[in-house]
């Protein structure tokens, strides 16, 4: 969801910081037109692998091919999209606030939470892919606690105890 509360303008600013590095971009989700999205599309069109909604199978495939997932959100209650991307093996770079610290769990993996601007943190991650590998595996395993195969038996047990 690319609504104003997700601060797409800050994401566009971060892309400017990494413009001279080698990267590609997958933009998932439906969105209304905004100046930030138009800016991203025009400035980085040659780097965009996918832009828009994807069928569930394609969505999971795109997540599985990703390396990093980011958020610039001002409002987030859980972080479903980030959880899905992390479960698929993406390294999260998300604000050190909202639901993200709890979502990612403890102990924290270095480089996942940021203060201030996203750009320098994203630059570091792209320049140090080896530093992300172990964190990606650890965090993907942690996201299994949100998988339906884990949640359903717990819900069944809770309901049968009523």
Tokens encoding 86:
């992390």
Domains in the chain (CATH in brackets) are 4-160 (3.40.50.2000)
Q: Tens of pLDDT along 48-88?
A: 999 999 999 999 999 999 999 999 999 988 999 999 999 99
The rounded mean pLDDT for the chain is 94
Q: Tens of pLDDT along 34-48?
A: 899 999 999 999 999
31 pLDDT tier (thresholds 50, 70, 90): confident
CA atoms within a 13 Å half-sphere pointing along the CA-CB vector of 55: 2
Select from 67, 109, 64, 69 the least CA-distant residue to 88. Answer: 64
d(CA 24, CA 43): 13
Model pLDDT, residue 156: 94
Lowest mean pLDDT among 30-34, 91-95, 109-113, 137-141: 30-34
Q: Tens of pLDDT along 138-147?
A: 999 999 999 9
32 pLDDT tier (thresholds 50, 70, 90): confident
d(CA 54, CA 111): 29
The values of phi and psi at residue 53, to 5°, are -70, 150
Residue 2 confidence (pLDDT) above 80: no
Model pLDDT, residue 1: 65
């Amino acid at each position: 969801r690319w609504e104003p509360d997700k601060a797409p303008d800050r994401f566009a600013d971060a892309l400017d910081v990494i413009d001279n590095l080698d990267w590609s971009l997958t933009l998932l989700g439906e969105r209304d037109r905004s100046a930030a999205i138009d800016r991203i599309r025009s400035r980085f069109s040659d780097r965009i692998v996918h832009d828009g909604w994807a069928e569930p199978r394609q969505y999971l495939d795109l997540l599985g091919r990703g390396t990093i997932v980011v958020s610039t959100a001002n409002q987030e209650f859980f972080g479903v999209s980030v959880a899905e991307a992390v479960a698929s093996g993406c390294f999260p770079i998300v604000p050190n606030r909202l639901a993200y610290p709890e979502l990612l769990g403890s102990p924290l993996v270095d480089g996942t939470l940021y203060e201030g601007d996203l750009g320098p943190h994203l630059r570091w991650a792209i320049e140090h892919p080896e530093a992300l590998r172990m964190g990606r595996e650890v965090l993907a395993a942690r996201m299994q606690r949100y998988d339906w195969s884990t949640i359903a038996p717990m819900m069944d047990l809770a309901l049968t105890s009523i």
